[in-house]
Amino acid sequence: MDKFMTSSTKSSLIDRIRELKKRRNAVILAHNYQIGDVQDIADFVGDSLGLSQEAAETNADVIVFCGVHFMAETASILSPEKTVLIPDPEAGCSLADMVTAKALKEWKALHPGVIVVAYVNTTADVKAESDYCCTSSNAVKVVESIPPDREILFIPDMYLGNYVRHVTRRKIHLWPGYCGVHSTMDEEKILALKEKHPNAEFLIHPECGCTTPCMMSKDHMLSTEGILKYPEKSKAAEFIIATETGILHRLRKTYPGKRFLPVSEEAICGYMKRITLENLLQSLEDMKYEVKVPADLAARARLPITRMLEAV
């Protein structure tokens, strides 16, 4: 909540959003990295895979996507008959920007017959040039579903790709991309936190730049949804969390008796935080900003996305 917003103003915003949501027959989908107020008002909060599943299955006429642009594109591809809105059109993704369709085509030309596995953090035109999509929660399953004699190009996150290569032992070429937030996770801070909290379990997202040493330890490499589910089965009272800080809101709300320690309080995605209650309301009021993937492009991108949804 904006520190300058009064509780009555916030309450009024929430009431108005709920009223318009009902009138528009809309569903609000929010990623785990959204601000707490947006997560709290959403109909569904989850990771990229869960959000894609919800977008594909919803009966709503309007999908308001509180996430980043590639997520809204994926919803448009899966539900072309629905109106997909994103409250802020500038909510992009630095990782998705690290590979273009043109660059991917050029790479594919150098490796005839390669299978392209695209992390869901890619634009629609890149997905259209790919064979499979995946999320961090099912990347291993997707790769394992590909015939073992085929070479794979994993785009665009090299840290997630390296983790998948380590687990599957497959011949995987890595695109040199990374998430600006996850790649800077400080290994020294992690070691200091582990020393200070020896009984805490360490949960790390595979996009993190410090994943390589963690793969050789007893640490838990998990997607955002995996991180959220893990404390339920663990007897630990403390957890060290290496991912974007937005996940802490849901963790603390779900497990009030447990303690969650972020590796970095500065691990904040500015793009994710562009969505607010104010522009969410404006999006519903004015039916903006619509994200619509052209039919021909959507048709080409739908197959790799469908394969992603099947690998659960």
Give percent above pLDDT 90 in the chain.
Answer: 88
CB 105 within 8 Å of CB 153: no
- pTM of the entire structure? 0.92
Nearest to 126 by CA among 81, 93, 159, 149: 93
How many whole angstroms separate alpha carbon 70 and alpha carbon 57? 18
Q: Which amino acid is at 201?
A: E
User: What distance in Å separates the CA atoms of residue 175 and residue 129, rounded to the nearest whole number?
Assistant: 15
Question: Do residues 116 and 132 make contact, with C-beta atoms less than 8 angstroms apart?
Answer: yes
Pairing verdict, β 83-85 and 62-66: parallel
Which pair of tokens denotes residue 1? Answer: 């909540």
**Is a pLDDT exceeding 90 seen at residue 186?**
no
CB 115 within 8 A of CB 141: no
Look at the domain 7-92+272-293 and name its fold.
Rossmann fold (3.40.50)
> Domain spanning 182-262: which superfamily?
NadA-like (3.40.50.10800)
Query: Which pLDDT belongs to residue 3?
Result: 62
Report whether pLDDT(177) > 90: yes
pLDDT per position as a tens digit, 44-66: 999 988 999 999 999 999 999 99
Provide the pLDDT for residue 243: 96
State the pLDDT confidence band at 6, using cuts at 50, 70 and 90: confident
Sign of the CA dihedral running 3, 7, 8, 10 = positive
d(CA 77, CA 130): 15
Residue with tokens 């790390």: 204
Cα 19 to Cα 38: distance, rounded to the nearest angstrom: 16
Asked if pLDDT for residue 113 goes beyond 60, the answer is yes
Coil, strand or helix at 66: strand
**What's the mean pLDDT in 151-160?**
97
pLDDT on residue 62: 98
The tokens 């528009």 sit on which residue? Answer: 24
Mean pLDDT of the chain: 94
Whole-number pLDDT of residue 226: 94
Pairwise pLDDT comparison (211 vs 297), residue with the higher score? 297
**pLDDT tens digit string along 77-103?**
999 999 999 999 999 999 999 999 999
- pLDDT of the residue at 201: 96
Ranges for all domains in the chain classified under CATH 3.40.50.10800 = 7-92+272-293, 96-179+297-310, 182-262
Which residue spans within the chain are E strands per DSSP?
26-31, 44-46, 62-66, 83-85, 115-119, 132-134, 152-155, 172-174, 201-204, 220-221, 238-242, 259-262
Residue with tokens 């448009």: 76
* CATH code linked to domain 96-179+297-310: 3.40.50.10800
Give the distance, in angstroms, between the CA of residue 258 and the centroid of all CA atoms in the same chain: 24
pLDDT tens for each residue of 201-225: 999 999 998 755 555 566 899 999 9
Cα torsion at 277, 283, 286, 288 (round to 10°)? 160
Q: What is the pLDDT of residue 312?
A: 76
Q: How far apart are CA 163 and CA 103, in angstroms?
A: 23
Encode burial over 279-289: b for 16+ CB neighbours within 10 A, e otherwise: bbbebbeeeeb
Q: What is the pLDDT of residue 223?
A: 92
Following DSSP, what letter does each residue of 179-203 receive, concatenated? -TTGGG--HHHHHHHHHH-TT-EEE
**Residues ≥6 apart with Cβ < 8 Å to 31:** 45, 46, 47, 48, 51, 66, 67, 68, 71, 246, 272
Task: Please write the tens of the pLDDT for every residue from 238-278.
Answer: 999 999 999 999 999 999 999 999 999 999 999 999 999 99
